[in-house]
Amino acid sequence: MKVKFYGTRGSIPVTEPEYQAFGGNTACVAVYYDGGIGIFDAGTGIRNLGKDLFERKTENYENIFLAFSHFHWDHIQGFPFFLPAYDSDRLLNITAIGITRNYFDLKSILENQMREEFFPIPLETMGAKLRYLQDESELKIDQGVKIISTNHYHPGGATSYRVEAEGKSVVYTTDIEHGEGIDNRVVEIAQDADLLIHEAQYTPEELKHKKGWGHSSWEQAIKVAELANVKQLIITHHDPDHNDEFLFNIERICQEHFPNVKLAKDNMEIEL
């Protein structure tokens, strides 16, 4: 199993020179396993992921699922630029398992952001066969691949995911506000994971003034990793005001508290 980060920024893309080391694309992470690929969120980073898949046609990923943690702009804005969605031979499973509110409709959310007021190409003409899965809390994709989910707090709601394949496990938790304690639902889904990907948009000091904004600190991300006994922690969803110098310093501080931790960078790869 391999994990590749295509977008590690939160809120809005950034392009200034002092942001190049960590990257400026918004949220998108790919989990590659034998015969398939799981994609988490469709921020601007999914554009480069789509280009990668077209350039690697020798690796025929028949099973692709795209799972959304939630639907704020920085997690959906790249979907109209995802090349495989224009491939008429492609079946794309689009999931938001665990989100079961009555008013929620996954297809409508994607359709609305591609209305002609916002984008020239409507969803129904993209080309790929799109299958929507949203009511289940667990999916078995193929070849022993299992995806489970749990909800956590974020304005508008959000979901954490755990992927198990090839004897390895990856947990993706972003846009979570733990509050005064640590959300035990996330600890449970991350238990003994090989890799925990956890957002930390704010420092502990910034978090004091950002209550209700729906995010975590690096201190909380490390606490989840410790409680869940994970092997490796990757911190992502960097604030657009945190430049490379700032993030390198945060990474050094984090490693003093949890040795096997890194801050995510665009295009970073991890083999499990």
Average the pLDDT over 229-241 and give the result: 98
Res 58 pLDDT > 80: no
- Give the least confident one: 79-88, 138-147, 206-215, 252-261: 138-147
197: exposed, middle or buried (Cβ count in 10 Å: 0-12, 13-18, 19+) = buried
What does the chain come to in residues?
A: 272
- Among residues 232, 230, 222, 231, which one has the least CA distance to residue 182? 222
Res 142 pLDDT > 90: no
pLDDT at 98: 60
**147 pairs with which residues across the strands?**
139, 163
Res 210 pLDDT > 70: yes
Res 138 pLDDT > 70: no
Average the pLDDT over 42-69 and give the result: 85
What residue has token string 């920024």?
9
Q: How confident is the model at residue 144 (pLDDT cuts 50, 70, 90)?
A: confident
Res 148 pLDDT > 80: yes
The number of distinct structural domains making up the chain is 1
Average the pLDDT over 33-58 and give the result: 89
- Among residues 177, 156, 168, 158, which one has the least CA distance to residue 196? 168
pTM of the shown model: 0.95
Res 245 pLDDT > 60: yes
Q: pLDDT tens digits, residue range 91-137?
A: 898 987 665 555 568 899 999 999 999 999 999 999 999 988 876 55
Res 174 pLDDT > 90: yes
pLDDT at 229: 98
Question: Where is mean pLDDT largest: 35-39, 44-48, 127-131, 157-161?
Answer: 44-48
pLDDT at 141: 62
Give the β-pairing of 63-67 and 91-95: parallel
| More confidently predicted of 63 and 230 | 230
pLDDT at 135: 63
Res 61 pLDDT > 90: no
Res 59 pLDDT > 90: no
CATH number at residue 22: 3.60.15.10
Domain limits at 213? 2-271
pLDDT at 60: 59
Contacts of 59 (CB under 8 A, 6+ apart): none
Average the pLDDT over 51-62 and give the result: 73
- Give the least confident one: 143-147, 183-187, 253-257: 143-147
Average the pLDDT over 175-185 and give the result: 95
**3-state secondary structure (DSSP) of residue 147:** strand
pLDDT at 91: 87
Name the average pLDDT for the chain.
92
Q: What stretch of H or E contains 228?
A: helix 218-228
Contacts of 153 (CB under 8 A, 6+ apart): 176, 177, 178, 179, 183, 214
